[in-house]
A and B are shown apart, each in its own frame.
Chain A
Amino acid sequence: NAGVTQTPKFQVLKTGQSMTLQCAQDMNHEYMSWYRQDPGMGLRLIHYSVGAGITDQGEVPNGYNVSRSTTEDFPLRLLSAAPSQTSVYFCASSARGSRAFFGQGTRLTVV
């Protein structure tokens, strides 16, 4: 019973590099989302998806791309990393009307 799995756990990128943060859930949840967590700012929504093939922007979408080709996977792409994207990233999933489950997070540093 894995729940929500995020990879990698840690990543260091150079400015301008691109990368994909992986998120997978095995609970058949419709709703998946990506948050970033910065000190004193709480959890801010980047992008979310209400089902395969459907995505939408959250509060802070600039510089990030998502797609949802399957129910299980919701990868987050950084197109050209910037130091302002240094953060801890969390993926979450939930079924309609139920609690959200979070992954363990990816700590990203952009130098």
Chain B
Amino acid sequence: QQQVKQSPQSLIVQKGGISIINCAYENTAFDYFPWYQQFPGKGPALLIAIRPDVSEKKEGRFTISFNKSAKQFSLHIMDSQPGDSATYFCAGRSGGSTLGRLYFGRGTQLTVWP
């Protein structure tokens, strides 16, 4: 059973446009929701993260919107650039005794056309 569902699988956006990636989760014990960015041939790297007591977090052109009641969260990339072309993964982390086990979505391959 997939604990974090991510959509779309792929996304094509024009330069300067807004990229939106959506995730939904089931486990209400998740205490932390990170987004990872992965370039070809590299490992995933943390992009931005949010805790469930906050509805929005913004870092530069990247914003996470979080809806606790709907158990959904999304990544918005404003003014998308060709350099943002990468695979994006959302995740939920379970706390407590599992010490930070991450459950990942299946990823979204973003292509930004110049």
A interface, CB within 8 angstroms of B: 4, 30-31, 33, 35, 40-45, 48, 50, 58, 90, 92, 94, 96-100, 102-105
Q: Is the CB of B43 within 8 A of A42?
A: no
- CB-based A-B contact count at 8 angstroms: 58
Residues of chain B at the chain A interface (Cβ within 8 Å)? 6, 9, 34, 36, 41-46, 49, 89, 95, 98-107
Select A99's contact among B46, B95, B101, B105, beta carbons within 8 Å: B46
Q: A40-B9, A41-B106, A42-B106 are in contact. Are A102 and B45 (CB under 8 A)?
A: yes
Q: Complex Cα distance A102/B6, Å?
A: 21
Shortest distance between the CB of A34 and any CB in chain B (Å): 12
B43's partner among A40, A58, A99, A102 (CB-CB below 8 A) is: A102
- From A30, A43, A48, B104 is in contact (CB under 8 Å) with A43
A104 engages B49 (CB within 8 Å): no
> Are A102 and B44 CB-contacts (below 8 A) given A42-B107, A96-B99, A96-B100?
yes
B-side contacts of A30, CB under 8 Å? 99
CA of A105 to CA of B41 in the docked complex: distance in angstroms?
A: 8
**Residue contact B107 to A105, C-beta cutoff 8 Å:** no
B42 touches A100 (CB 8 A): no
Query: Can you identify 22 A-B contacts, CB atoms within 8 angstroms?
Result: A4-B43, A31-B99, A33-B101, A40-B107, A43-B44, A43-B102, A43-B104, A43-B107, A45-B103, A48-B101, A50-B98, A92-B43, A92-B102, A94-B100, A96-B99, A99-B34, A99-B49, A100-B46, A100-B100, A102-B36, A102-B43, A104-B43
- Residues of A with C-beta under 8 A to B104: 35, 42-44
**What distance in Å separates the Cβ of B23 from its nearest Cβ neighbour in chain A?**
11
